Copies of this chain bind each other. A is one copy, B any other.
């Protein structure tokens, strides 16, 4: 074959592998692969730096198919370029336990960088990946020793660009001048339900220019030379992220081309045959991969081997010249914690006045961050309230230092570890996922608890992927006070606890907060939400009460009944732990054998063995009262049929926090009264 013929055959191989996969599964999305195969082909064969035999090589280019419904395209590319994904795997598309699920899943299929499908997420993930690359490059590369230097690519769709999360992320990417981020926009003008003409007629190029992006528009996405030129130009443009609008045609070549019918359903056998005929492809057999096409794609393996070994030599030189930095970076990518990372975690002395757990958490973070270089994060415009700025660690920025009114004394550069997300909670969550998926980071985010609602989709994806992302949520109850019900979380704790694979920790005082941060960092296989109070809570005297280390087991006996045979158990979380302690002390003073249990994390407690759980909540003690300033949903599990809860099953109110708490029954007297009523 001539080069051109081979190229055409290679592109059609991608197309028809994808189409055959969908047809075989009788489920899936053939339209995107048919249309986007040429741009994917150009990117993967002419530009993408990767090593199919080592999908975890740290300096690979990152590629994300943000339009995850086009998964068949990605699986075709992975198979063809030599990843551990066989033709048989492709034949098992969308089947039980296959390596080719309906949407790409990180951790499930080699070469899949992040789980996509929910639109907009992948586009925001790549912003996080490009931020990760820029920060690591600035922090670790040294003159003559470039060990971090890769691009981040994405294929994005109309649906991605319509989603708000993508807008937020794109605006931030433009602000940050992420020049090594290149998004190929599969501009096919058709969505699942219709043409974009019925909802999406904005000038997308102008919008991205307004964000500060470098924008190119290609009239013909099938023109591979033009696609290659555009990618080359995008790569040269180092001070702006790039969007390449490639005009493609959904369901290209099929009788359903340019219609939404090609989007999300198999073409049907007849249309598959017609498409193959129209594009000059053998109708049979399915899953056809011509040998010379395979050879062409598989060049990626040798090329990848060379690229990684070239890099490896650079790495070896670097490790010799800068052993400490190299070790740091290795730890960061391995996800291991350097020795002594927690040496400076403060122990807070007993203090009746105490401090807000958000403040305690800030102190803990500040103590850990200097010793744990992987930590990087920030808030959605709420640092002064969330206490999540890390002093002295710089602000991640393209160098456009502000006038210093707001944040003094920090160095503003890509080497900065403090991130400013702006008022963009949703992108913050998705960017954190991108950083974690990139590797080299334990990212954290921060906002008010009530605004966790804005970022549920990426939180779910982090849990599904098992990414170590830490979410700090402060202002965690009606105790927020004057800001009123719009700012007072009520149902958010229950909502977060419902997410499988997410640890939700609501520490009860400063020392529990310290342990919470430690557990979050040590838990490498899942995300953690740390839920913190706005208001002060007493720091318990751990000579009187059990050690805060009990948090590691999710729940523990804080103060037992005299003699240890309780007739009543009071259970609290977060700031309400103090109410439990006070009430139990009062009850004990009256001769009632009450036990105080602190239960900062349901998930950790549920994971303990039976014996431990029964030691904290003995089955024989049925009178149990839970006190938590949130909806009671789910507490039945812990208090049982004869137990009760003091909760908030309605919205909050605007008034000073103490007033709201009192009006809603969060007083020692009410807790004592309710406890006694349980015994009666």
Residues of chain A touching chain B, judged by Cβ–Cβ distance below 8 Å, are 25, 27-28, 68, 94-98, 101-103, 105, 115-120, 158-159, 162-168, 171-172, 174-175, 191-207, 209-212, 258-260, 379, 381-385, 395, 397, 400, 402-403, 405-407, 420-424, 426-427, 450-451, 453-454, 456-457, 460-461, 463-464, 481-487, 490-491, 494-495, 497-501, 631, 633-634, 636-637, 640-641, 649-651, 653-656, 659-660, 663
Contacts and interface: CB of A to CB of B under 8 A. Distances in A.
Number of copies: 2
A376 to B, nearest CB: 16
Contact of A453 (B395, B457, B656): B457
B451 A192 contact: no
A197 B384 contact: no
A406 B198 contact: yes
A105 B258 CA distance: 46
Given A163-B423, A500-B631, A641-B641, A402 B195 contact: yes
Nearest to A492: B498
Contacts of A158: 423
Given A199-B420, A420-B194, A491-B499, A164 B162 contact: no
A547 to B, nearest CB: 29
A202 B420 CA distance: 15
A532 to B, nearest CB: 17
Contacts of A482: 25, 27-28, 94, 102
A316 to B, nearest CB: 39
B193 A379 contact: yes
Given A198-B407, A500-B651, 16 more contacts: A27-B483, A103-B486, A117-B487, A159-B423, A163-B424, A164-B164, A164-B166, A172-B199, A174-B201, A194-B407, A201-B400, A203-B211, A204-B210, A206-B206, A209-B210, A460-B491
A406 B260 contact: yes
Given A168-B167, A197-B402, A406-B198, A497 B423 contact: no
A127 B204 CA distance: 20
B259 A485 contact: no
Contacts of A484: 94, 101-103, 105, 117
A119 B423 contact: yes
A95 B120 CA distance: 41
A118 to B, nearest CB: 6
Q: Which 6 A-B pairs have the closest CB atoms?
A: A164-B164, A199-B422, A101-B654, A117-B486, A167-B167, A636-B636
B405 A259 contact: yes
A255 B483 CA distance: 24
A441 to B, nearest CB: 19
Contacts of A379: 193
7 contacts: A98-B655, A193-B379, A194-B402, A198-B397, A206-B209, A498-B633, A634-B634
A409 to B, nearest CB: 14
Given A163-B424, A406-B194, A660 B96 contact: yes
A163 B162 contact: no
B172 A654 contact: no
Given A103-B483, A407-B194, A426 B654 contact: no
Nearest to A379: B193
Contacts of A260: 384, 405-406
A175 B427 CA distance: 24
Contacts of A490: 500
A402 B193 CA distance: 13
Contacts of A27: 481-483, 656
A29 to B, nearest CB: 9
Contacts of A105: 484-486, 654
Given A103-B483, A193-B406, A451-B118, A633 B94 contact: no
A175 B200 contact: yes
Contacts of A382: 192-193
Given A260-B406, A484-B103, A453 B450 contact: no
A52 to B, nearest CB: 23
Contacts of A491: 460, 498-500
Contacts of A96: 653, 655-656, 659-660, 663
Contacts of A196: 422
Nearest to A157: B423
Contacts of A427: 164
Contacts of A498: 491, 494-495, 498, 631, 633
A230 B180 CA distance: 40
Contacts of A420: 193-194, 198-199
B198 A403 contact: no
Contact of A457 (B192, B212, B454, B481): B454
A637 B402 CA distance: 54
Interface centre among A97, A196, A400, A424 (most CB of B within 10 A): A424
A201 B398 CA distance: 12
B464 A460 contact: no
A241 to B, nearest CB: 12
A259 B401 CA distance: 16
A403 B102 CA distance: 32
Nearest to A265: B384
